[in-house]
Amino acid sequence: EDQVTQSPEALRLQEGESSSLNCSYTVSGLRGLFWYRQDPGKGPEFLFTLYSAGEEKEKERLKATLTKKESFLHITAPKPEDSATYLCAVRVTSGTYKYIFGTGTRLKVLA
Amino acid sequence: KAGVTQTPRYLIKTRGQQVTLSCSPISGHRSVSWYQQTPGQGLQFLFEYFSETQRNKGNFPGRFSGRQFSNSRSEMNVSTLELGDSALYLCASSLGGDGYTFGSGTRLTVV
């Protein structure tokens, strides 16, 4: 069964304390892995798409990497405004395309 | 540039009623997807439309249906509402292939 698991469920960091969020997946026919950020009361905001193992993408303090079994979202020197829920999603083919989201990591960055 | 617009933002319905939610995608985006988000299950894929045709469907009962119009606007309908249908319903649009742009969602409460 296709599955996406994110860890940790919640993470508290001090401002400037770098860390990584994990997204592990067990799927067949991966056609892209997506990272989103979601603020309370809002829809998810697209961050990155990764398509193949070894691929990396960066945006400001965020860097996403992909292996054959997992993806990491590295947050370097986070600021309080980085506090949000970070969601990982995979698009897979099983007959037709299917989209599976993880349950997210709630990140809180303290000033 | 206008984002994805969902109406209404909040809705309260009684068990057994039906409800229709509306989504206007970003201009030029022909793909529209719908998701249900709950605290326990996270984001779950409902269906995707492209050029007025349903391209993909998630594992939801037939009470959940949708359609897309020639101007790419989309509606989803839930009939015979149940308490468990209470959730944030998110619409997302894309040009196809890469990440979605989500709306802010419709918060549906079934009482």
pLDDT of A96 reads 63
Token pair, residue A97, equals 């395309």
Instruction: List the alpha helices (DSSP H) in B1-111.
Output: none
Q: Band of the pLDDT at B97, cuts 50, 70, 90? A: low
Residues of B in contact with A45 (CB under 8 A): 102
**Yes or no, beta carbons of A100 and B45 under 8 Å apart:** yes
Chain A window 21-80: which residues touch B at a Cβ cutoff of 8 Å?
32, 34, 36, 41-49
pLDDT digits (tens, 9 = 90+) for B30-46: 999 999 999 888 899 99
**Closest of A44, A70, A74, A45 to residue A57, by C-alpha:** A74
Residues of B in contact with A42 (CB under 8 A): 104-105
Task: Name the minimum distance, in Å, from the CA of A14 to any CA of chain B.
Answer: 26
pLDDT digits (tens, 9 = 90+) for B6-21: 999 999 999 999 999 9
Residues of A in contact with B104 (CB under 8 A): 41-43
Residue B80 contacts residue B71 (beta carbons within 8 Å): no
> Which residues in chain A land under pLDDT 50?
none
**Closest of B49, B84, B44 to residue B66, by C-alpha:** B49
